[in-house]
Each structure stands twice: as C-alpha cells, then as structure tokens.
Amino acid sequence: MTNSDQIVVSPVSGARQLALFIRLPRLLYSGLPSYVPPLDMEQKGMLHPKRSRFFEHGSACYFLAWRNGKPIGRISAQIDQLALEQDGPRTGFFGALDAVETECVKPLLDAATDWLRQQGIERIRGPWTLNYHGESGTMIEGQMEPPMVGTGWHPETLGPAIERAGFAKAMDLLSYRMEVSPVAERANRVPANLRARLGAVTVRSLRKDHIAEDADILRDIYNDAWAGTWGNVPITRDEVQALLASLKPVLKPEQYVLVEFEGEPVAIALVVPNIFDISGDLNGAPSPIGWVKLGSRILTHDFHSARVILLGVKKKLAGTALSAVIPALLIDELMQRGHVLPYRTIELGWVLETNVGIRNLIERIVPTPYKKHRMYEKTIS
C-alpha cells in the first residue's frame, strides 16, 4: 500500500462533515443486494447533537475513515452517564459502525477505544446508536430480508471484521417475524375461560388526549420490567416523550397495548409501523415529489408491517400466574388488532438470546428468528 492509499481516521469536524457522517451508510451501501436506505431525516434525529435526546445524559465523538480523500467508513464513541451509574466496569460504547472496505474497521474501532480510554472508560461495548434504546447490534443474519424500522443493516463482512479487531461476542439479539392473519390469530388466542380466570384484568389503547400521562406509564413499566437485564439503561421521560412525538404522524391508539390489573398498569407493548414500507423507494433523501408521496402514504397509513419496540411486564408479578399469561395476552391483543391496523406481519425484535422465557413464548408461534444482530465488547487496558 502506498502512502496515498493509507487509511486516515479523524474526528468529525463542522456541519458539513456531520452531514456526511449521517448519510454515509446510504453512500457506502448503495447498490448492495437488499440494502434499502433509511431516511436521512430519521438518521439525523438519532445522531445530530441538537436533535437526539441522548445528549441530555450522554456525550459522543464521531469519526470518519478516509482513503485518498474519500470517506470509506464511520464510527461513534459515546458515554452514557446513566450507564456509568450502574455497578461493574465503567462501560462506554461504540455505534454507527459502517464500512464496506473492512480494512478500515480496526482503525475506526481503535479510534473509538482510544477516545473512551481518555475518558477513563474500562470496557467498550457495542454497537449501539447511540444507546440501549437505539439501533442495536451488527447484523449477522438476515441481510436479504425486508428492512425494518429501527433495525440496522450491515454487510456480512462487518461482523467478522469486528472480531478480527480484537472484539469478542457479548450477546446476540434475535428478531422474529409473526404473521398476522385470521388463522394465526385463532391459533394464538388466549382462551376465553383462561381470560376469565385472570380476574380483574383489562386491556386498553392509547388515550390521545392523555399522551403525556400514557407515555409516563409506558416508561414506568418498561424500566421496571427490564431493570437489571443485560446491557439495560433506563429510558428517560424526555426520550419517551420524544419517541411518541416523532411517531405522532403515524400513531394510532391501537398501537399502544396497556394491561391493567385491578386498575393498576402492569404490562405494556408499543408497536410502530415500518417506515420502510412507504419510504423504501425514495432513496433516503426524497425529492419534493417524493415528500408529497411520503405524506400521502402516511395519511392513508399505507403500511403492511410493524415492529414491537417496547414490551414489558412489571416485576411485582414475577412468579404469579399472571406473569406467565400476560405476555401471551399482549401478543394476542396485537394479533386481534390486525382487524383495525393494516399490518400483515409484526416483528418481535431485540430478544436476548439468553431470555429463555420470552423465546419459548415466541417460538411457540414462530420457531426460528429471521434476523440476528450481535453485540461485541472488549476490555480497555
């Protein structure tokens, strides 16, 4: 390799490089089989320091890899103060790792590691963009499957390149695709006699005139349900409020499933429509006519798939009959709401490979995951 062919990694500087960093995957992966670019606007909401709620409790440094003046890869290094409050090694994160030329993966990871080391971090884990509640993991399986909202796409070569850079597997995240049809609905319905034995259990949808209150209920249940699980960082009130605000154009009350027992909220599921259903042909940066098309499709809710992004059951029910039945009840409700919502498939994603209980419940309906994303980690010496 000549000097002119060497890879140079440098921190992102200025608004122009930040804009390049945000749209770079669309430029790198353009033309690869089955890759569909996300909307630049959506990515900007995740990554731009002035838009992402992550920066209310975290900090980050972005890096670009260059060869002969051409950008060939990117990565973020970030610290979440909420994660530093937890027991164990001081853990920082990397994310937004994208590259086709895998020679740049190790230099990018080295740059992220060095930045975190300078901040006193003892362990690096990722990828998360930018934290536990964003895009998670490197895609290991499922590249040829249809794209899904909130789910990163990576070429098959990226995972092995991370391992060659000295990172070890930390956890696999599994995604399952559940068909919504009258047959599937009947097959997975919680029997009426079992529902009757549950006692004072009620199910309701989102109250659009009480969105802020329902957002707090969602946050309370979710944080309680997943506290102490692998990698979990609590979701903040502002992050939940921002999430529902971003979903407002496509949000329908039926997408929010709340289970109450004796009047107390005890379980929650939030399903969001797959934006790729209506934006996949717009190449990430729509023209004025493209924006008109997108707006029209949103108004008609022209989606055929969706993803469960938040699901949880309060820990106080652990060990009770309710704790065993309520997850099935949530799935049953989502299936029944297919009569109101137009979704033909619903993805249940980011299931930890170690979460045997949830996996057994899902795999009774869908035997095998259709996508797999991998998390990696490394001790910083």
Residues 68 and 100 both lie in one domain: yes
Residues 7 and 87 both lie in one domain: yes
Asked if residue 349 belongs to a domain, the reply is: no
String of DSSP letters for 176-216: EEEE-SHHHHHHTPPPHHHHHHT-SEEEE---GGGHHHHHH
> What's the confidence (pLDDT) of residue 2?
44
User: What whole-number distance in Å separates Cα of residue 125 and Cα of residue 129?
Assistant: 11
Residues 111 and 217 both lie in one domain: no
Residues 153 and 250 both lie in one domain: no
Residues 12 and 132 both lie in one domain: yes
pLDDT tens across 17-60, in order? Answer: 999 999 999 999 998 988 999 999 889 999 999 999 999 999 99
Tell me which of 343, 358, 375 is where a domain ends.
343
Asked if residue 363 belongs to a domain, the reply is: no
Tokens 């209150």 sit at which residue? 213
Q: Which domain holds residue 213?
A: 181-343
Asked if residue 371 belongs to a domain, the reply is: no
> What's the confidence (pLDDT) of residue 360?
87
Asked if residue 308 belongs to a domain, the reply is: yes
Asked if residue 365 belongs to a domain, the reply is: no
Q: Which of 330, 366, 347 is nearest to 184 (CA)?
A: 366
pLDDT tens across 195-204, in order? Answer: 666 678 888 8
Asked if residue 223 belongs to a domain, the reply is: yes
Q: Which of 335, 316, 322, 327 is nearest to 194 (CA)?
A: 322
Element (H, E) at 115: helix 105-118
Q: Which amino acid is at 214?
A: D
User: What whole-number distance in Å separates Cα of residue 337 and Cα of residue 112?
Assistant: 44
Tell me which of 153, 172, 191 is where a domain ends.
172
Q: Which of 246, 281, 251 is nearest to 134 (CA)?
A: 246
CB 70 within 8 A of CB 89: no
Residues 203 and 93 both lie in one domain: no
Residues 133 and 272 both lie in one domain: no
CATH number at residue 246: 3.40.630.30
Name 332's Cβ contacts closer than 8 Å, sequence gap at least 6. 188, 189, 190
> What's the confidence (pLDDT) of residue 197?
65
Residues 76 and 199 both lie in one domain: no
String of DSSP letters for 309-331: EEEEE-GGGTTSHHHHHHHHHHH
Residues 12 and 115 both lie in one domain: yes
Residues 136 and 189 both lie in one domain: no
Asked if residue 59 belongs to a domain, the reply is: yes
Asked if residue 362 belongs to a domain, the reply is: no
Tell me which of 172, 205, 222 is where a domain ends.
172
Residues 82 and 201 both lie in one domain: no
Q: Which of 334, 271, 332 is nearest to 301 (CA)?
A: 271
Q: What pTM was computed for the model?
A: 0.92
Residues 237 and 262 both lie in one domain: yes
Residues of the chain with pLDDT under 70: 1-4, 183-188, 192-198, 338-339
- How many other CB atoms sit within 10 Å of the CB of residue 289? 9
User: What whole-number distance in Å separates Cα of residue 82 and Cα of residue 92?
Assistant: 11
Q: Report how many domains make up the chain.
A: 2
Q: 3-class SS at 247?
A: helix
